[in-house]
């Protein structure tokens, strides 16, 4: 069925919303019915929204615009249950925020290689906080120990410009500048409690795409490639998403198709595929159980059963919002979704 969204619009940002993340539902605390949503932009201020009322609080004075947000809800014996948020800033720094106390825990600045976004934030077996950063221009995934302030590991996930071969051509004026090959787009997503990693590298035109599934080897403490799929779609891949606790992943493409990938008997296979009702799926997210895939196409949000990829419902933005496409989608909270939140591109208004 198709329903028109009657959304609640919460406004504060004076320019485009650059980052969005959902918060943990405090089911046993003082506010069991309050859902939290975090947003950031060029104002260098983190906004903490309380849904459904729309109340907001602020954490200002970040060193640069907020480009990416990634939450972590983990147990530490010495400080109890708290929610942490890793904030990726435009000056190549990371700020870790305790959203329960609305305080900044630590700041990491001066990383050697500029990163594009924060991929994950978690606690390792030693109880120390670790953050994963994607550097798509170098095709590298870096893990950084926030407590020890040092790099833990760096994994080359794509055949990038630093390693790709090149060909020299000789003209009338002598040798020309080498033309570098390699992938211009790199996507990564963890799944199954970071026991598995999904990566995709492709050229700007979407040709020569390589979808790789990695498995973490406890004995070597490294990720190893389990399966490689050449050109998983006929068009350019626009989204790669892994489920947090299950060996399940999704890919979407400009060819209008989207596919689910599952690990069956030790091998990754395409479990099912379907076609978008219109255009193609641009942004997607799983529910906490992985039974539902929520994804955007045009000015609408669709909800699919991941077992059969049957389309269960479609929510459409009212024409008055002038929404052209969603750039981010999230479910709040993931375990028991009560809200579908998104950042959409509006004609002449940027991201809203």
Express each pLDDT in 287-346 by its tens digit. 888 999 999 998 888 999 999 999 998 888 777 777 777 778 877 665 565 577 777 666
Mean pLDDT of 214-238: 94
Strand, coil or helix: 319 = helix
Q: Which residues contact 296 (CB under 8 A, 6 or more apart)?
A: 281, 282, 283, 284, 302, 325, 326, 329, 342, 344
SS3 assignment, position 97 = strand
Q: Are 44 and 60 in contact (CB under 8 A)?
A: yes
Q: Which residue has the higher pLDDT, 122 or 5?
A: 122
Task: Please give the Cα distance from 144 to 119 (Å, whole number).
Answer: 11
Kindly report which listed range (24-28, 222-226, 315-319) carries the lowest average pLDDT score. Answer: 24-28
Rg of the chain over Cα atoms, rounded to whole angstroms, equals: 21
Q: Is the bond preceding residue 198 a cis peptide, omega within 30 degrees?
A: no
**What values do phi and psi take at 319, rounded to 5?**
-60, -25
pLDDT-derived band of residue 81, with 50, 70 and 90 as boundaries? very low
Is the pLDDT score of 128 beyond 80? no
pLDDT at site 243: 94
* Average pLDDT across the chain, whole number: 80
Instruction: Please give the pLDDT value at position 73.
Output: 56
Backbone phi and psi for residue 320, each to the nearest 5 degrees, phi listed first: -65, -20
Q: Is 84 left (phi over 0), alpha (psi -120 to 50) or beta?
A: beta
pLDDT tens string 150-186: 888 888 887 654 443 333 333 444 433 333 344 467 8
What percentage of residues in the chain have a pLDDT greater than 70? 79
In the chain, how many H helices and how many E strands? 0, 32
Q: Residue 33: which pLDDT band, with cuts at 50, 70 and 90?
A: low
């Amino acid at each position: 069925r198709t329903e028109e969204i009657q959304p609640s619009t919460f406004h504060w940002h004076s320019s485009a919303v650059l980052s969005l993340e959902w918060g943990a539902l405090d089911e046993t605390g003082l506010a069991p019915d309050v859902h939290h949503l975090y947003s950031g932009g060029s104002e260098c201020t983190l906004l903490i929204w309380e849904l459904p009322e729309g109340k907001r609080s602020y954490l200002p004075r970040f060193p640069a615009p907020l480009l990416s947000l990634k939450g972590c809800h983990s147990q530490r014996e010495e400080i109890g249950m708290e929610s942490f948020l890793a904030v990726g800033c435009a000056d190549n720094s990371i700020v870790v925020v305790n959203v329960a106390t609305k305080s900044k825990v630590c700041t990491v600045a001066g990383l050697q290689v500029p990163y594009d976004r924060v991929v994950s934030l978690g606690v390792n077996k030693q109880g120390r906080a670790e953050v994963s950063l994607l550097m798509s221009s170098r095709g590298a995934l870096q893990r950084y120990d926030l407590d020890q302030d040092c790099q833990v590991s760096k994994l080359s996930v794509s055949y990038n410009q630093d390693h790709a071969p090149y060909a020299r051509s000789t003209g009338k004026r002598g040798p020309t500048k080498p033309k570098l090959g390699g992938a211009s787009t790199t996507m990564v997503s963890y799944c199954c409690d970071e026991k598995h990693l999904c990566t995709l590298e492709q050229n700007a035109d979407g040709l020569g795409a390589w979808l790789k599934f990695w498995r973490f080897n406890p004995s070597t403490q490294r990720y190893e490639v389990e399966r490689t799929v050449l050109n998983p779609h006929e068009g350019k891949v626009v989204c790669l998403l892994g489920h947090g606790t299950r060996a399940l992943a999704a890919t979407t493409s400009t060819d209008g198709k989207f596919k689910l990938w599952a690990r069956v008997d030790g091998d990754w296979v395409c479990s099912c595929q379907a076609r978008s009702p219109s255009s193609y799926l641009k942004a997607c997210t799983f529910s906490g159980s992985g039974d539902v895939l929520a994804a955007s196409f045009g000015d609408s949000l669709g909800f699919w059963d991941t077992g059969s990829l049957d389309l269960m419902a479609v929510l459409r933005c009212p024409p008055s919002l002038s929404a052209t496409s969603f750039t981010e989608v999230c479910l709040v909270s993931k375990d028991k979704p009560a809200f579908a939140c998104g950042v959409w591109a509006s004609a002449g208004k940027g991201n809203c």
